[in-house]
Structure formats: structure tokens, C-alpha cells
Amino acid sequence: MSQWEYAPAPESRDIANLKPKYRPFIGGEFVDGSGDPSKTVNPATEEVLAEVGTASASDVDTAVKAARKAYERVWGPMPGTERAKYVFRLARLIQERARELAVLETLDNGKPIKESRDSDVPTAAAHFFYHAGWADKLDYAGFGPDPRPLGVAGQVIPWNFPLLMLAWKVAPALATGNTVVLKPAETTPLTALVFAEICQQADLPPGVVNIVPGAGDIGAAVVEHPDVDKVAFTGSTEVGKHIQRTLAGTRKRLTLELGGKAANVVFDDAPLDQAVEGIVNGIFFNQGHVCCAGSRLLVQESIADELLDKLRARVSTLRLGDPLDKNTDIGAINSPEQLAKIKELVASGEQDGAQRWTSSCPVPEKGWFFAPTVFSGVEQSMRIAREEIFGPVLSVLTFRTPDEAVAKANNTPYGLSAGVWTEKGSRILWMADRLRAGVVWANTFNRFDPAAPFGGYKESGFGREGGRTGLEAYLHVQG
């Protein structure tokens, strides 16, 4: 297929205001963490972006103490009408610094600037706006009169949506009157530390938000700290299970948002060109580093060949490369470890006998990239049909009847999301009733809204984030 030629349109990296060194944020101050400093790297160029001071377990203890003090003396007793003003101010400041945050996110994570600019950062601001609106209305949220906050929330987030996952965690916690100790992922700490500057700019009382960069052991120190009342974790199912085991028998409240292997189900009456756009968005958005990615395409057998032809033609037009270029569709893979994992699973797909098709788009020599790939002839027993690849790789399976589609879609230990493509409203409702997934999108995919609760079934975790339901995870409510 012929492709448009695009002149380079790079966003300026100066907008990111990169500093040579970033430090943990505890008790309202940036402090020298006593952990070993780490370096954060641009995955598209492999250059070091900045040094990051990390927290030690004793810094986590200091952060939890600061959060406890702020909770008891200031934030917990503060009327919701006052808390709302702070949360609103955070939202406004994220908007004001949106370009800086978007460029910084793209540099640190590798995602295309058009995604960080048009999706991650605006949605992060939207979460703060939405929750600011709840802060003074909790008495009327249906949780009984005067629902109380839990106390100190320990929050651990992954690298795929660094600022957005922070917003999903911090906004509801603050709106409901809790204070926070948050650990960003080791490979993507920068936007969280700029958010700490925003907390200072907003005059947020010291200790209400604390950010402790570090690796998994610091996440464990946050989760296991005895004075943390609530743990919220987003990441791999493996670490989620470990956290659940660790917290079993303690009084801590827990929500887990873990992996997924979502089915995107296309029936023979679906508008195919529209479905192709949805399939592309479902698996190639954010390089497929999305827990709710539509990584298993289930297509009705009678239209499989036609749909696959259209899909390959469309995927051939995706532009891979410099994430700062405004025309880039697919950016860099966040780390060499993740790239190795993708390659290993792709090799297993080939060994198991699935047919691999990979776009012939040019791939930069420097940096960590993986060209968009579609496997057809995939059997349910193959690893590429069962395991989360977390990369730009789609596994295509076929079905003949709606019952078979449901059986195959639900044949996974996960249950985070699903998509249904059909022109029949009744079939959408029939499918949505049967799919064991926290979110079911109809004739669309990857739509997010702070008002819509998000969360999983089975090994995708439990608890909901967003919406009125998401508030409950941060409140003592009357049963």
C-alpha cells in the first residue's frame, strides 16, 4: 500500500525542562534519599536523561510518618469544601504544565508525543477535576452519612502510564481525605517528581502527598509498612499475588489492578473499516503496553480473511520511530527487559506454529523498538493466546457462533476488558452479560473516563478505580 511521506515534526525536548537530578519528595520537601541513586534512560535513544535519588526503607518510614501526621492534623479533619479547592488546583496546574509533562513523559517512557499530549496528560487532569467535584459531596454519594477516610494510602504504580496511573491513585485518595505515599516505577519516575513540584505550587499541606522513587523493594516497603491503612497497586499479576499474600490477615484494605489478555470480538455484521481502527487502537496504542489491551482478536470465521487483509494494510501504514515526532504512531519499548520478553513470546508463537506477519516499517537502530506484529492461526493452547505479551503483538483466533466467541473470550485467567463489534444492539447486550470482564466496549476500544469505574475479574485483580464506585476503596462505608 502506498504511504504518505511525512516531513519530520519533532516536538522540542527543551519543553520538558529536564533537570540533571531529581529527588524524593517527603513531608513537602525534596530530600536526598538514602537509597542508591539510579539513572533514568530515554528508551528511544538509550541516553541517560537524569539521575534520580531513590528512597530507602527508612525514607519510606519517614514518608509514612509525614503522611500520618498530615492525615491526623490537617487533611483528615479538613472540610471537604476546602480539600476540593486543593484537588481542583492540582488539576489546573497539571493543565497549565501539560506540554512540559507530555514531553517529559514521552522522553522517560518512550510513548508517542501525540498520545502523552492528547491522552495521558489530559486524562490525568480530568481525574483530578472529577474527584475535586466529589470532595465536598461524599455525604451524598450513597455511602451513608459522613463516610470517613481510611488514613494513609500506600500506592505503587507501573511504567506504562506513569502520570495517568498516579492520577488514578492520588486523586480519589485526596478527595476522600486520605494522605498518600506513592512509589513510581523505577524506569519512569520523572513525571511523578514533577507532580511533586505541582503539589508545592498548589500549597498542598506538607505530607499529604509523598513520592518515594525506587525499585521493587521500595514498593514492598510501602506495601508492608505497618502504619499504612490502604494499599493500591497496579502492575503485574505476579507481584499483585505476592502483595495479596503479604497483606492477608492484616487490617489493610487492598485494591489490585493487574494484567489482562482481553478479547476483541468481531462479528460478521460489524462495520469492518471501523473495526480495523478499533483493533489497531486496541493493541497498538502505547506500544501495546496496556493492561486492558485488546491483545486477542476473535474474528468470525466467515470474515476472517477479509478482515485480516484490511488489518495488515492498515498496520503497514503505522509509523514507528522517534516518540517526540508528532507523526509517530508507535514509539519505543520502555526497557530492554520488556523488549526481551516480547521477543521471547513472539518466538514461542512461531515455534508453536502460528503464522507471523510483521510490518516492514523501518526500525531505528538505536533504542528499543518492536515492529507491529499480527499472528494468525493462533490456537487457544499457545502461549501467545494465554500470556500477557505487553507489546505491539496481536494474536488472532476465529470462531463460528456467538457461544463459541463467549467461551473463547472467557477462556483466560484474566478478566479486565473486552470489545464487541457488531451492528446489533441486542447482541452487544447479550455478549456484555456473558463476558467475564470489568469493562466491555461496544464498537469502540480503550475509551477512558474518570466517571467510569475500571477494574478486573479473576487474576486481573479486584476493586474499582474511577467513578462513584472508585471512591469506596478509600472510605469506611456503612455496610
Q: Cell numbers of 134, please? A: 466529589
Nearest to 94 by CA among 122, 135, 119, 130: 122
Binding string, residues 166-195; x marks residues near ligand NDP by CB under 6 A: -----------------x-xx---------
SS3 472: helix
| Minimum distance of ligand NDP from residue 266's CB (angstroms) | 24
Catalytic residue among 257, 388, 465, 472: 257
Stretch that binds ligand NDP, among 127-135, 217-225, 348-356, 407-415 (CB under 6 A): 217-225
What are the two backbone dihedrals, phi and then psi, of residue 145, each rounded to the nearest 5 degrees? Answer: -70, 140
Q: Does 271 bind ligand NDP (CB under 6 A)?
A: no
| Sign (positive or negative) of CA dihedral 28, 32, 34, 40 | positive
Task: Judge contact between 166 and 184, C-beta under 8 A.
Answer: yes
Q: Is 57 in the site for ligand NDP (CB under 6 A)?
A: no
Examine residue 160 and tell whether it contacts ligand NDP (CB under 6 A): yes
Among 176, 210, 234, 412, the residue binding ligand NDP under the rule CB under 6 A is 234
Q: Residue of minimal CB distance from ligand NDP?
A: 219
Our finding on whether 455 is near ligand NDP (CB under 6 A) is no
The site that binds ligand NDP (CB under 6 A) totals a number of residues, namely: 26
Of the pair 264, 460, the CB lying nearest ligand NDP is at 460
Distance from C-alpha of 401 to C-alpha of 265, rounded to nearest angstrom:
11
Does the active-site annotation cover 292? no
Among 27, 37, 205, 216, binds ligand NDP (CB under 6 A): 216
Helix ranges (H only) for 13-120 are 57-70, 80-96, 98-109, 113-115
d(CA 224, CA 250): 10
CA separation, residue 343 to residues 46, 239, 287, 352, 397 (Å): 19, 22, 14, 14, 20
Assign residue 422 a region (left: φ > 0; alpha: ψ between -120 and 50; beta: otherwise): beta
CA atoms of 286 and 319, how far apart (whole Å)? 13
Q: Does 396 bind ligand NDP (CB under 6 A)?
A: no
Which position among 174, 180, 198, 239 is part of the footprint of ligand NDP (CB under 6 A)? 239
Piece of 196-204, 235-243, 266-274, 395-403 that binds ligand NDP (CB under 6 A) = 235-243
State the nearest-atom distance from the C-beta of 228 to ligand NDP, in Å: 12
- Taking CB under 6 A as the rule, which mask of x and - marks residues 322-361 in contact with ligand NDP? ----------------x--x--------------------
Active site residues: 257, 291
